[in-house]
A and B are shown apart, each in its own frame.
Chain A
Amino acid sequence: MIFTRRDALKTAIFATGATLAAPAIMRHAALGADPIKIAGIHDASGGLDTYGLPMIACLDYAVDEINASGGLLGREVLLKNYDPQSNIQLYTQFATEAATKEKVAVVHGGITSASREAIRPILKKFNTLYFYNTQYEGGVCDRNEFSTGSTPAQNVNKLVPYVLKNWGKKVYVIAADYNYGQITSKWIAKYTREGGGEVLATEFFPLDVTNFGPLISKIQAAKPDAVISALVGGAHVSFYRQWAASGMKKQIPLASTTFGGGNESVVLSPEEGDGIVSAFSYFQEVDTPENKAFLEGFHKKLGDKAPYLGAELAMRTYIGVKLWAEGVKRAKSVDRMEVIKALESGISMDTPAGKTTLDAKTHHTTVDVFLATCSNHGFKVIETFPQQPPADTASVCDLIAHPNENKQYIVDIKI
């Protein structure tokens, strides 16, 4: 037999390939068949990374937990994390790649409503199940998508009555100038009016505005009893600084639908942040045995690298993965329709954030909502509202009656 140079090369390549692949093959062998591929698309860099990085940490942690307890259906769960760098174009590119090239069983991802609306149609088109795990303005009605974060009927609906009852009836609303802020400010107006209050003014700010001096003077001239903020992102944090610097923080109290979703409470000094009230479906400081156990495991695994989880975004990502895993277990398959049907069968789960139940009609969740006040770089929970249904989306969306619906309703709020 003649052993040519080409043969030698082939042998070498095969041998190298086999050696490199061996650990992977052996790892899969331990858990039986092929791994179940899933994808995460969260901003690990760029302007939104303060939200994205804790979400990714929780996503990784949830998948590790599942694999440590034997995987799903005897198969390992293989997570691929994409970093869209706070760039919507990359979102669409990665969603397409995850759905077509990787053929993943589910995509968890999207932070802003803009990124969600960019990838939702793509995943629908390619029949890939989608979980959106962020607090948002509500109204998405799409059988292929599950929204596990809280919506205005759950958080604004608790925040506004608190403000009206404790601080007074006249409120001044300031919000970020894109769909989240525009729609949320309408909800604030609705609940204020229903509570017998009055919105003195509503102002919108593009995400790059850092000079709030004129606004602060205008607020002082309007003399409200309270200010409600739906400001978003890093630049808007300077509002809280300037508000405190002008001495107004001691005069007029501040509540927010967004404060704490990012790292606001961490970067502001206690003088600037303390006392601001927020409502979310989770705070790291929630005092339950489940949450304590979760944080213990989380910190044990990540050590110093464990991010501060703040409000709900990261925790909802963890819960989203767990809900999906429960759906797969019940369906005994990763087939998209089978899993959707299983998820619609009324899955309820005790989580670190309290009991979370998936609602078949809206594909949203019933959650516990917490009111908390910012205190020394963290939060102190002051009130808990158990089991709040997603009433806003439920008023417009019924996926049992209309399974083929695919749109985001802008809930009609008359002001």
Chain B
Amino acid sequence: MDYAAVVALQILSGVATLVIVSLGLAVVFGMMRVINLAHGEFLMLGGYTAVLAYGRGVNLWIALLILPPIVVGLVGIVVERLLIRRLYGRMIDTMLATWGLSLALIGGVTMLFGNSVTGVSAPLGNFSVGQFHVSVYDIFLMFAAMALSMAVWAVLKFTPAGLLARGTMQNAEMASALGVAPDRVYAVTFAAGAALSGLAGGLIAPLSGVVPTMGTAFIAKAFITVITGGAAMLTGTLTASGLLGSVSTIFTFLTTPVFGEVALLIVAIVLLRLLPRGITGRFLRRSL
């Protein structure tokens, strides 16, 4: 019984991790259709921000939750201005450019901080479920994933900024004709996506440690989740994370982490064969 509870907790935590690492990409790729291959490196920059700030005596929670989104959001503004802005609508070129950016960021961070693993210890201690011990930080991540999703939903649904963003993504020319400056909306949306990725990096830093190449471990999963999710970026990301995260964690428990990953990929492939436009291409189409 206790074991079942612990397994359930692990499944939820697997789902939460997927949500956290995918949300930034959901905004940038799901909404804006920008294939950002440097998404993993945005996570990495967030992780480094957290670890470096904490190492210099910044309060742990500020280092994990406040600084990473600010820093990576600023990076996002610069990247949008210099790179992405010139390439809207040119998918292949965007891929090449962001891939180059990803390599440059890995190289730059390696040069500055070296290619070794650093990290911070997970805060909050642990608690017991019967005879099992569970890290409180895992639970914290679940709440963080929920809070982040609700925040994104609330911003898109209830704020004028969210409305402008959704309108511009749907039809930039019409939005422009109505007096919105699409350039600015795109820039802000991209920066928001980058900030979400940075926050994700800060959140997972205590679990995975940070290293310049850490992005590669997450980017494939993030893309698979967002693509499987389909057109409605938030609902899609949440449902896809729920499905893929559960399948992968359950198979990891039953067999090994290798088969956990394999199971995740198989489910994604089968789903995309049956629902080529993603989960929300068929179900929940009118959601966000």
Contacts and interface: CB of A to CB of B under 8 A. Distances in A.
Contacts, number: 115
Nearest to A272: B121
Interface residues of A, number: 38
A220 B132 contact: yes
Given A49-B115, A208-B217, A246 B135 contact: yes
A211 B257 CA distance: 9
B2 to A, nearest CB: 9
Nearest to B7: A217
B41 interface: no
Contacts of A245: 121-122, 126, 135, 137, 206-207
Contacts of A203: 256
B97 interface: no
Nearest to B126: A247
Nearest to B134: A246
Given A245-B121, A271-B121, A214 B252 contact: yes
Interface string A239-269: 0011011111001000000000001000101
Given A49-B115, A177-B258, A267-B117, A214 B10 contact: yes
Interface in B3-53: 3, 6-7, 10, 13-14, 17
A376 to B, nearest CB: 15
A204 interface: yes
Given A213-B138, A217-B132, A246-B133, A267 B10 contact: no
Nearest to A205: B257
Contacts of A238: 119, 207-209
Interface in A11-65: 45-47, 49-50
B211 A234 contact: yes
B249 interface: yes
B249 to A, nearest CB: 6
B253 interface: yes
A247 B252 contact: no
A206 interface: yes
B179 interface: no
A272 B134 CA distance: 16
Interface string B123-140: 001101001111101100
B116 interface: yes
Given A211-B257, A213-B138, A247-B128, 18 more contacts: A47-B115, A49-B115, A205-B257, A210-B207, A211-B17, A214-B249, A214-B252, A217-B6, A220-B6, A235-B211, A241-B209, A242-B122, A246-B126, A246-B134, A246-B135, A247-B133, A267-B118, A267-B119
19 contacts: A45-B110, A47-B115, A49-B116, A50-B116, A50-B117, A205-B257, A211-B208, A217-B132, A220-B6, A220-B132, A220-B133, A238-B207, A238-B208, A238-B209, A242-B135, A245-B126, A247-B135, A263-B116, A267-B119
Interface of A: 45-47, 49-50, 177, 203-206, 208-211, 213-215, 217-218, 220-221, 234-235, 237-238, 241-242, 244-248, 251, 263, 267, 269, 271-272
